[in-house]
Amino acid sequence: MATSKENYWKYSLIILLITLGIILFNQFRPFFTGLLGAFTMYVLLRKQMFFLVEKKKINKTVSAILIVSEVILCILIPTFLMIWMLLGRIQYVDLDIAPLIAFVQQYIQLIQEKTGYDILSVNNLTTATSYVTKFIQLLIGQVSNVIVNSVVLIFILYFMLISGREIEAYTYDLLPFNDKNKTHILGEIKRMVLSNAIGIPLLAIIQGIIAFIGYLIFGVPSPLLFGFITCFSTIIPLLGTGLVWFPLCIYFVLTGNWVSAIGLATYSLVILTNVDNVIRFILQKKLADTHPLITVFGVIMGLSLFGFWGVIFGPLLLSMFFLLLKIFKTEYIQ
């Protein structure tokens, strides 16, 4: 039986651990995205690392450098090149917005005639300018944040690969469950990470290609640009690709091109949306049979908590909650 002094040591240590953990978490929070990215890459590449070291007997440092180089060449550089190409394409977008401007002007004039409210007043323009300035500053900050966290990702991934077995054994020992539940939880984490890390980019690429074909058919200006944007829009829950094709349909309506508007809307609703549902269903059955509600609400929650990596770790966090609830029910209630 523990003495009062031993209890004092125990609870003091717990308080110190929690306090230091909170301090370290707050200080490391700007680099949290890089940490999540490194964890995702480790789950994807750990078997490759073990194969090189344990089967091929290649030095750990050399193996880790090879795999990190693979991540840089196959994932990070192509991603930055796509973003760079997208930003470059935006400069050369040639949209005939004269009819749209005329429509907006007529709408503003109608509001002023009916209500007496001047949308283009000095105060409104000043407010709009301040919002635009804040948005540009936020965008620049996000670009620099991506670069910094990419460096953090590479740095952490290297050391995770070097000490993979030790880290896994240490984590396994710390988990407050029996061996059966430990295996279950770690397996669920692995399945969820693999499912989202592979499924989300694959789904984005397929939907981007299908959307690009539709944009070509119905004469969307700069179809390649909007195809790229559609790829990224797939991570937005509920709305998804509709954030791109629906405004394009509205643009066609405002410019008087009803044939393209109806055609693109039909193509998107019948083909693009259904392809999204079919591919998601197939990926869930092949990789991880996750309930759609967990995916939707997990992504919504994850994007606010973790940024881009929330599309992976939001559903994972929600799945872990229900899994822990199930373990608690099985172990302590039934």
pLDDT for 102 equals 62
Residue 162: DSSP 8-state: H
User: CA 16 → CA 19, 21, 170, distances in Å?
Assistant: 5, 8, 20
Would you tell me how many other CB atoms lie within 10 Å of the CB of residue 265? 18
Rounded distance between C-alpha atoms, residue 217 and residue 213, angstroms: 6
pLDDT 10s digit of each residue in the chain, 334 long?
567 878 888 889 889 999 998 998 888 888 888 888 888 889 889 999 999 998 988 999 999 999 999 988 888 887 777 667 665 555 555 555 555 566 566 656 766 666 666 666 656 656 766 666 665 555 555 566 777 888 888 999 999 999 989 998 888 888 887 888 888 888 878 887 777 777 777 888 888 889 899 999 988 887 887 888 888 777 776 677 888 888 888 888 877 788 888 999 999 888 887 776 677 666 666 665 666 677 777 777 777 777 666 777 777 788 778 878 887 787 777 6
Beta strands in the chain (DSSP E): none
pLDDT for 248 equals 86
Rounded distance between C-alpha atoms, residue 37 and residue 43, angstroms: 10
Phi, psi of 221 (to 5 degrees): -60, 140
- Per-residue exposure over 314-334, b if at least 16 CB sit within 10 Å of its own CB, e if not: bbbbbbeeebeeebeeeeeee
Rounded distance between C-alpha atoms, residue 189 and residue 22, angstroms: 24
Q: How far is CA 71 from the centre of its chain?
A: 17
In single-letter form, the type of residue at position 324 comes to L
pLDDT for 249 equals 87
